[in-house]
A = this chain, B = another copy of it.
């Protein structure tokens, strides 16, 4: 028997309402046309929160945005399993492309990326996020390999990077559409590429 229950926690608990208000305000401000409107000060003011409450729980602005992104922007796209890798991949990419195309997600993602380029904290968190996303997509492709739809020696990491590469490249440069049609074409091309050469 372990003692261990010396003292679990003491003092006031984290205010969930404040946390939500901060994330909401962050997303809302990033959605504004005025780029750069989302500073820690303005987020705190918009959320009706002290700046310290932000810094108590997040190490940097990027971390706030990342969390907002994950929670708000619903980037947790499904990893479908219909038995057909083309269908699965199309579904996955369509979900991601349209999520980014329509809502405020693109602004948030772009801001997170920018933050990660000159902020250590943000870079690490962003790295974890993208790794997780790649793993999700890879698992979809691996099922295709298992079923023999894709070549056994296909370079899945490369395929994954091509998929997310197109997404990020178009989002960051602002060129090219991120439509459902575009996602379908990309999915088809990638499957064709990885299917092997009969």
Q: Give the interface of A toward B (CB within 8 A).
A: 35-36, 110-111, 113-114, 116-120, 123, 126-127, 130-131, 134, 155, 157-159, 161-162, 164-170, 172-176, 182, 185-186, 189-190, 192-194, 197
State the main secondary structure of chain A at its contact with B.
helix
Please state if A116 and B172 are interface contacts (CB–CB under 8 Å).
yes
Please state if A118 and B164 are interface contacts (CB–CB under 8 Å).
no
The answer for the CA separation of A176 and B110 in the assembled complex, in Å, is 20
Contact of A35 among B114, B119, B126, B130 (CB under 8 A): B119
Q: 9 closest A-B pairs (Cβ-Cβ)?
A: A165-B165, A193-B193, A165-B169, A114-B117, A114-B114, A165-B166, A162-B162, A36-B118, A35-B118
